[in-house]
Structure 1
Amino acid sequence: MKNILLLALFVTVNSMAQQGITDYWYQKPMRILQTVLRQPDAADYNVDSLVKYMNATHASTLVVNGGGIIDFFQNTLPMANVNPYIGKRDLLADIADGCHRANIKVIARVDFRGVDKKRYDQHPDWFARDEKGNPIVLNYTTPELYAPCYNSYYRNEHAVEFIEQLMVKYKLDGIWHNAVNFHNTCYCDRCKKDFNHTAGKEIPVKSSSKEEWEEYYRWNDGNAGRQLELMRGTVKKYGKDKTYAAEVFDMYKIEQQKHTGISLYSAAEYFDFFVIVAFLADNAQDVEYKDIYYPTAIVKFLKSLEPDKAPVILFGGNGTEHRYIYDPPLDSRLWLWEAAAAGGGFWNCYFNGYYPANAPDARNAYLATDAYKYLMDNEVLLKQLQPVTDIGIMYSKPSGELLGDNDFSGSMRGVQRLFMENHYQYGFVSDKMLTAEKLKEFKVLFMPDVAALSEEHVELIKDWVRQGGKLIATFKTSLYNEQGAARKEFGLSEVFGVSYLNQVVNTEMDCYQKIVSRNDLVAGMEQTDLLHNGGRTLMTKALAGSEIITGYLPKINNQPPEYAFPAKWESDYPIMVNNRFGNGESVYFANEIDKLNYTIGHPDYDQLLTNSIDHLLGKLQVLNTNAPASVHVCLNKSESGPGTFQLSLVNTSSSSQRPFRDLIPVENIIVELPFMIESADIIYGSDNSNLKFKNSTLTIDRLEEFYSVRINSK
């Protein structure tokens, strides 16, 4: 059995790698430092000190201010706004020359989001207009900036001239396009003319219909794409080794992606490497720390979009909220290791001081040094790692647009929590990349409330299950087409074994599931007849041949207690249903079990989901371990050689609240792999740790923060 698994594993990983791609420096694991300079930082800028720091911390690429809002070079264009603190010095020339002498790549940060009033008055026709014809002003900035749209002269003709000047004068290695998103609706002459030419009508206004706005968003998506294409093309004129990337955000914030027209799908198409803004917490009034395993999830997702592009998380030693003081150090280190565990690179962004040790708060200046060294020392092994997978999560951008960020992110985060805590090896498949060939990479496909599904994808998934595929789906999956139009019936009704009764019930309080059938899908629940239910539940009817595992019970109001019982305990409507379809099998949940696994986290949800996965996987699970849920385990295939793998363990065993205060080491971890081990070498681990292996089993006697092993299979 292990030999069969190993062969399948090799076929899967090799099918993901594209051959014949020229190697460029930006395809390797990235080790980036960004200094977002304030104007006064230029006054005493010492390039030698910067280079010395970068060498000490193993950073190989610098991202530094070029200009746009404030120019950090001697800009000769008419709209120049040269930083007064540089005087006659050409600071960018000094930085580029000094870094290049030290074999450090230099990428210039440009920002075309807006200009001050004085510059706006030079060319008011270069900028965006609101519905009443007034200039669109960004009021979240100080000073307020006058914004240009995607079609504007400022973001196009002017931006091209600006970038060309930088690339010619300073021999830069690339451009970083900051604040690329335009968040408003523009009614400038260019936009009105183009929309009328494309759609044959006026740009919608606030009172316009949803359909009119959907048409506008599709048009705006094209504008955004052309903007990125123009900027990339401008950079690439100076060589294929020159790199272009721009600022994109959270994989869960689909609403913003829809409204701005720029998404992670855009990044896959136009960027030379994947960088995603991924600070521990966003810059918001109410600070909320992101899931500690988010970097693992985003790196895996980016790899699924384009395996040959290096994924990078943009974090900050001093974060992005309260930028003048350090981010919690333990969380920051675990954040990096979570990214590295899946094969991600690092981009350390500081917003004050011309390098981190020069910042007002330098406590985290050297925090990431060993993490950067880990990437540097193991560059060949870590280049273009690909996850070894049991399960694929379907990521559906159309579903995110339909459901909204809260429901979309809740479902996705609940599944990721399930996989990370139970050590399932997973990858992603997006609606953009879904093909019959892609589905062959997974033993099980998990569809977390994938409400919007095209007819093509409905038939594709049906065929895959019919031929032996295993499917888990939840809530509204396939109830809408990719445009958000409702279906009267699940597109995958035959696969699920249920029919939709056109009713959604609020089950947020005092609601339960009744166990209907006793089998391995409710293992561990022998002492109860009732299970937790929350959120919302669809009313469905089981089709002939399907098996109802749990059923819906109406709300049992708990007051007064004397009346707290139902008229009957039997269930008329299924929630969890097991069904065979052709040679394959599915488990469908009519409730929001994935989201509830994250928001409420009652053990019943985790138990039902793990039982479902174990039932569908049988004995084909790639990896087994005794590690606790707080230890996250990733197995990757390396392109460095046949039969070469990399295993990572990240320990998050700590205090009960974020940020973490301290870390509890975990001892005597056993990991069983799907192949016989020929050799295993520690490439990062505790100084006093010891690694043993026998046959297909690894034993790690002590895990502190992070552990990484190079493995060669027999």
Structure 2
Amino acid sequence: MDLVGYDSEKVVDYLMSVDANCLVINAGGIIDLFPNPLELSNPSRFLGGQDILRELCDACRAKGIRVIARVDFRGVERRVFEQRPDVFSVDANGFPRISRYLGEPLPETLYTPCYLSWYRNEHAFEFARHLIREYGVDGIWENASVHEGICYCKRCEAAYKSEVGEGLPRGGVFAEAGYDGYRAWKARKLQEHLENFRREIKAFGDDKAFCAEIFGLFYDLYDFAGHDLYNIKEAMDFLVTPLFVANDEPLSAPTILTKFLKALDADKTPVVLFGHLGTDNQLRYVSNSPSELKIWMWQAIGSGASLWDVIFNGQHAAATYDRRNEALVAEVFRTMKKFEHQLHNRRPVAPVGIFFSQKTNLKRRRPNRDEDHYLTNILGLDQVLTDSHIQYDFVLDLNLSAEAIRGKELLILPNAEFISDAEADIIREFVRNGGKVIATGATSLGDESGARRENFALSDVLGCDYAGTSVDASKWGYQRIKESAHRVFSGMEKTELAANWGQSVLVRERSHDGSKALATFVPPIYPQPPEKSWLTSMDTPYATILENQFGNGRAVYFATEIDRNIWHHGHLDFSTLLGNAVSYMLSDEHVLETNAPPSVQMTLTEVTGEAPGGFILHMVNLTSTPRRPVANIIPVRDFSVTLKLPAKEFVSCDALIGNKEDVNVSAHEVTSDGDLCVRLSIGQIDDVLSLHLVTQ
């Protein structure tokens, strides 16, 4: 219906008014936005003789705006399906498979193709070639590159038999381990499809862009659809993945995602795909919280991401049913354009690295966060680091090497259960040479194949041995503090017990190696009846927190998933213990120190492009009433920030975003360590303050 009376000139005028540099427009697949002469065409009945795609391409080209054609081959209507029923997916009984959304059938049936199908490959490639030849589009975006479950079409049967040496698996439950081999094969088929699609597009020139909708990090589509950002990153010209504003995601989610994408490929632009309408991609016709939307966008920009605002109705953001958030997006886009050179090419200043184990992620991730044992560990860890304003980035197992972690003061392994011997050796040498490690949960108890080891691969580094089992402390769990004077227990001087929860790996310290148990496991103390709520002894031989000297370095090991507990349970003991451990391992010295509250989140990055050198200190204010969604942001006043920068001379401090009058450089000097120390006084931050510190 939005096509009726479509005015391409007004759409482009709007894009120009907000300084947008690219329009991604639906070209077709399910419904075509142009008079399509190809086989299986399905032009919209609302085109009314217009060639809207051509009008938009011509109008955008005249204004210097790039056009990427969105194509969607997730499925076809019955009329189209009946023309070529042999080129779509079938179930184990040979019946056509239909597209679903969030497990539910669509109001109108769409017959879905698999990753090997003629429709998603030969047909799709010719479709894209036609768009480039006839319309001169600047690139192709394959939307909904998703095929859930298992396909038994002839192509899949033949390919699986040829490559795996057996027939496609049948029976049982698809989510169970019996289909793991098929899942890995399916992920490779998706990767091949995307690589082939990219090859078709690049045949028209390297300047033609290709990318696809692959869900990653915050969305778990590997088990059902084979989505794995590791596998497909080479096929993408820029790294884009969806992350819609959602009340159940942390407000730091765009920052976490951007850091992950930068670690995946530092040379490709990370793009956060979001929408100023809807919440968690639902309620697409009405605005979400304007305060949360601002936080979402500023968080992404702060870590170096670009933004893609997705609009599902109307001709443009200012010509749709709900226009309440349009001005907010326009403000951010104009800011991105104005400071493009400073904001675009940046790298994190991060003495702390979070080791990301994709092998563990694939094994322990669950769509239901209550059952998840990996992403939630990272979310809890991010909460502690972000609250303490500690700067971090990700170190991926994809490219783990001595070089990748050189310069890191601290490497954190959040429940990194499945690691290879080679990865363990790299981490071991890092610690031996003076590096520091914090590990949690079942870190290194499994190998890269998913098999359980008899002992930790890093037992010598962690200073403990696996006792052969784990226990569930989710009810009535405690830890006995053994070394109350240790820095890890700062602020807990008046207690002999600390909270415990979730799975506890039972371990014994290696006392002969110089390790020390800082806290030990306490058996459950049942609350009822009160007369029986006591133990003869709280002492056990199982350590829950250990410190170990290894070579010139040091390790602190939590035998619990303390990071996950922070996210799921929330008892302050968990965040206090982990936060203290991080500060202890960093010797309480940080590249960024501030007396601002945790609700003012800060990201420090180094400018690496053509702009004047220096650093960006990006601050996003989350201070508000204690509930989601955020309704109003409360200004924060009168705080200071001290930065220790790898530079020799301070030149200037400019406010890219926010009020420069609220910023005062109170001092700057070169320290005895050779770092540049800059002290800032901040009078007030409303929603965002982004400072460019020019240095030499």
Coarse TM-score class (shorter-chain normalised): over 0.9
User: 1:216, CA displacement in angstroms?
Assistant: 1.4
* Residue pair 2:290, 2:631 contacting (<8 A) in 1 also: no
* Residue pair 2:12, 2:56 contacting (<8 A) in 1 also: no
* Residue pair 1:389, 1:441 contacting (<8 A) in 2 also: no
Letter in 1 for 2:132: M
> Match for residue 657 of structure 2?
684
> Hey, what's the Cα distance between the residues in 1 that align with 2:45 and 2:297?
37
User: 1:215, CA displacement in angstroms?
Assistant: 2.0
* Residue pair 1:114, 1:148 contacting (<8 A) in 2 also: yes
> Hey, what's the Cα distance between the residues in 2 that align with 1:709 and 1:400?
35
> Match for residue 234 of structure 2?
269
* Cα 1:550/1:368, change in 2 over 3 Å: same
**1:79-118 per-position Cα deviation (integer Å, ceiling 9, x unaligned):** 1001111132211000110111111111111000111111
Unaligned runs of 5+ in 2: 367-371, 669-677
SS at match of 1:86: coil
Structure 1 residue 418 corresponds to structure 2 residue 384? yes
> Match for residue 645 of structure 1?
615
Match of 2:184 among 198, 215, 218: 218
* Residue pair 2:218, 2:243 contacting (<8 A) in 1 also: no
Match of 2:547 among 540, 554, 578: 578
> Match for residue 215 of structure 2?
249
> Hey, what's the Cα distance between the residues in 1 that align with 2:558 and 2:219?
25
> Match for residue 519 of structure 2?
550
User: 1:572, CA displacement in angstroms?
Assistant: 2.2
Q: Where do residues 169-568 of structure 1 align in structure 2 (5 Å cutoff)? A: 169-207=134-172, 213-254=179-220, 256-281=221-246, 288-319=247-278, 320-405=281-366, 406-517=372-483, 518-544=485-511, 545-568=514-537
* Cα 1:455/1:672, change in 2 over 3 Å: same
> Hey, what's the Cα distance between the residues in 2 that align with 1:543 and 1:253?
39
* Residue pair 2:519, 2:545 contacting (<8 A) in 1 also: yes
* Cα 1:217/1:634, change in 2 over 3 Å: same
> Hey, what's the Cα distance between the residues in 1 that align with 2:52 and 2:162?
45
Match of 1:137 among 90, 98, 108: 98
Letter in 1 for 2:497: L
> Hey, what's the Cα distance between the residues in 2 that align with 1:501 and 1:323?
52
SS at match of 1:432: helix
* Residue pair 2:187, 2:228 contacting (<8 A) in 1 also: no
> Match for residue 664 of structure 1?
634
> Hey, what's the Cα distance between the residues in 2 that align with 1:102 and 1:91?
17
**1:337-377 per-position Cα deviation (integer Å, ceiling 9, x unaligned):** 11111011111111110111111111112221221112111
Letter in 2 for 1:541: R
> Match for residue 570 of structure 2?
601
> Match for residue 48 of structure 1?
9
User: 1:214, CA displacement in angstroms?
Assistant: 2.3
Length-normalised TM-score, structure 1? 0.91
User: 1:688, CA displacement in angstroms?
Assistant: 5.5
> Hey, what's the Cα distance between the residues in 2 that align with 1:80 and 1:291?
42
* Residue pair 1:579, 1:585 contacting (<8 A) in 2 also: yes
Higher relative contact order (CA closer than 8 Å, sequence separation 6+): 1
Letter in 1 for 2:324: R
Letter in 2 for 1:159: A
Residues matched between the structures, number: 668
Letter in 2 for 1:679: S
> Hey, what's the Cα distance between the residues in 2 that align with 1:200 and 1:371?
53
User: 1:250, CA displacement in angstroms?
Assistant: 4.1
SS at match of 1:198: helix
Q: Where do residues 29-108 of structure 1 align in structure 2 (5 Å cutoff)? A: 40-108=1-69
Moved more, 670-679 or 61-70: 670-679
* Residue pair 2:216, 2:228 contacting (<8 A) in 1 also: no
> Match for residue 682 of structure 2?
700
**1:471-507 per-position Cα deviation (integer Å, ceiling 9, x unaligned):** 0000111111112111111111111101111111111
Moved more, 673-682 or 336-345: 673-682
User: 1:213, CA displacement in angstroms?
Assistant: 2.1
Q: CA RMSD in A?
A: 1.5
Structure 1 residue 713 corresponds to structure 2 residue 695? yes
Report the identity percentage: 35
Unaligned runs of 5+ in 1: 1-39, 282-287
SS at match of 1:356: coil
SS at match of 1:538: strand
* Residue pair 1:307, 1:384 contacting (<8 A) in 2 also: no
* Cα 1:468/1:690, change in 2 over 3 Å: closer
> Match for residue 35 of structure 1?
none
> Match for residue 26 of structure 1?
none
Structure 1 residue 164 corresponds to structure 2 residue 125? no
> Hey, what's the Cα distance between the residues in 2 that align with 1:259 and 1:138?
13
User: 1:206, CA displacement in angstroms?
Assistant: 2.6
* Cα 1:687/1:680, change in 2 over 3 Å: closer
User: 1:328, CA displacement in angstroms?
Assistant: 1.0
* Residue pair 1:513, 1:531 contacting (<8 A) in 2 also: yes
* Cα 1:327/1:250, change in 2 over 3 Å: farther
**1:298-332 per-position Cα deviation (integer Å, ceiling 9, x unaligned):** 00110011111111111111122111111111100
* Cα 1:169/1:228, change in 2 over 3 Å: same
SS at match of 2:285: coil
SS at match of 1:146: coil
* Residue pair 1:680, 1:693 contacting (<8 A) in 2 also: no
Moved more, 471-480 or 672-681: 672-681
**1:534-564 per-position Cα deviation (integer Å, ceiling 9, x unaligned):** 1111111101220111111011111122222
